[in-house]
A and B are shown apart, each in its own frame.
Chain A
């Protein structure tokens, strides 16, 4: 039974979707599509784009949720609706308020066109300390790190350089594989 290390499961950064700081969201979407077409080692698809600075260092990560967030109208009214939560109203009531508001919002086509031109750095998440993992780390430790931080992926480091991405989907597949092996040997 194989004892996996992080480097065995990671996607090398060269095969991951990346864009530079200053890119538009539309460019990030294209980069993600392209990376997905070229990466065919597993049927699990990429779900994020890494944002690189001029020195090619990773400075942020743009997830599918971040893309969707760019479509949310950024206005005072919506903020006020979101704020209702702190007064103890149910999510059903908040959703109804949002639905009511959306009836007065601009057409979807306009919202999408506007979002495509927004900058990636306005929506990306800056990785926190717990999102980095050394490539020599064991799978058990990496799993613990994913669970504790509720992360969908971790940035894999070699010395101080980011060399890849450890995706939860690949970790899940490997773990599941080990589980099946154990069951078969018992």
Chain B
């Protein structure tokens, strides 16, 4: 196992060199985060479909429990139970539009992971950086539990647990626990835990920062121990159900699904779950007594429990919906934690947008009216008043606006439009609008995936490392 340990030291050092300006040492945070013997236990697996390029290259890396789809290479890296989902990468001859440029894509885009350590991290979407169209790179980066790297090339960064970098090229940055960044391009920034930042330069700028003391009940991460808090307890309590789906080779779906819907073989489905047409359920999603209406989706690491989603609802990566009723076209962003109680259900009116990294945790029934934007931490009506605004009112913001811990600058209408367009795009990509012959998306294209497994050296100095593997058609 010597080589594995040497690899971790090498990655840690490279990240520290990149973060030296911020005077940050990642060593105490990561050294004991995943015991080395855990990294030798699990097989890695990759998907083969007729719809996505097949091109994998793994070299001097550990891939324990990780999943790969599309075109990607992994060099000198440690990937622990991570999902590298290359089903939205750009393809040769695509044209990438950026400002007034129309840039042709010369070859199929690839996810390139080098000298990085990803723990239970999701890598998805495509590089939004016009300077690196064909390479979605992740270099000298450590991403901890349940981080999302979504369309965001990353170089020399540390991502805290449950953090998300979305459509942003990020260099030499520290992204704190449960922070969400969607800002185009950032470098040399120390983003404190609980920061939600959405910026389109010269158009709008949205910033919310969680009250840290309250956030720490949900997620807390410090050197010397793994992440702790309600989020971790919630996930750990349901871990066993996933062990079964990963241990059994041939698993029959426990519910019947329409031919236009897709239920991933590595999702957990508990009784009384209903799946309608054009629904997409991704790997590592967890559904229990969940009613999913037409076109709804449950993305990776999402949990929907005792809840009803009327249709065309998006449950983004890592979002959790418990004891809730969602109207049509509700968007629940990355890593949201929405928890009602059996006697105190959460109701979300149609066409509402729950911003990424929002926590709603109630002990009395709560209704979010239709067409509202919600952010931050909401435990009752009073919080909701401070952390929400009708979308129509938000659209009227012309210069700047501030409410509670949220601050906004720019055009509210542009912000709302950007969100709505993105929601429409997500539904389209996921196949929510499939009509039987056209508008196919992931729900229709991801139905027939074959999975192959690969394994590491079982003993010796190279224990835990996978041999160099190249997989092509």
Interface residue ranges, A against B (CB under 8 Å): 80, 83-84, 86-90, 92-93, 96-97, 100
Contact = CB atoms under 8 A, between A and B. Distances in A.
Top 4 nearest A-B pairs by Cβ distance?
A: A93-B409, A93-B400, A87-B207, A89-B409
Interface residues of B, number: 12
Interface stretch (B8-16, B117-125, B197-205, B316-324): B197-205
B400 A87 contact: no
B209 interface: yes
Interface in B398-416: 400, 402, 407, 409
Contacts of A89: 205, 207, 407, 409
A27 B245 CA distance: 74
Interface of A is mostly: helix
Interface in B27-79: none
A100 B406 CA distance: 13
A135 to B, nearest CB: 39
A87 B179 CA distance: 13
Interface string B191-235: 010000101010001010100000000000000000000000000
Contacts of A84: 207, 407
Contacts of B197: 87
Nearest to B190: A86
Contacts of B192: 83
A40 to B, nearest CB: 49
A85 B426 CA distance: 32
Interface of B: 189, 192, 197, 199, 201, 205, 207, 209, 400, 402, 407, 409
A80 B209 contact: yes
10 contacts: A84-B207, A86-B189, A87-B199, A87-B207, A89-B205, A89-B409, A90-B400, A90-B409, A92-B400, A93-B400
Contacts of B199: 87-88
A4 B402 CA distance: 55
B205 A100 contact: no
Given A87-B205, A88-B205, A100 B409 contact: no
A96 B400 contact: yes
Contact of A88 (B201, B209, B402): B201
Contacts of A92: 400
A96 B207 CA distance: 15
A84 B191 CA distance: 11
A102 to B, nearest CB: 14
A97 B409 contact: no
Given A92-B400, A93-B409, 5 more contacts: A83-B192, A87-B197, A96-B402, A97-B402, A97-B407
Nearest to A90: B409
A90 B400 CA distance: 10
A89 B189 CA distance: 15
Contacts of B400: 90, 92-93, 96
A2 B419 CA distance: 69
A88 B400 CA distance: 13
A96 B403 CA distance: 12
Contacts of A93: 400, 402, 407, 409
A100 B209 CA distance: 16
Contacts of B402: 93, 96-97, 100
A79 B192 CA distance: 12
B2 to A, nearest CB: 42
Contacts of A90: 400, 409
A87 B196 CA distance: 11
Contacts of B209: 80
Residue among B189, B209, B407 with the most chain A CB within 10 A?
B407
Nearest to B207: A87
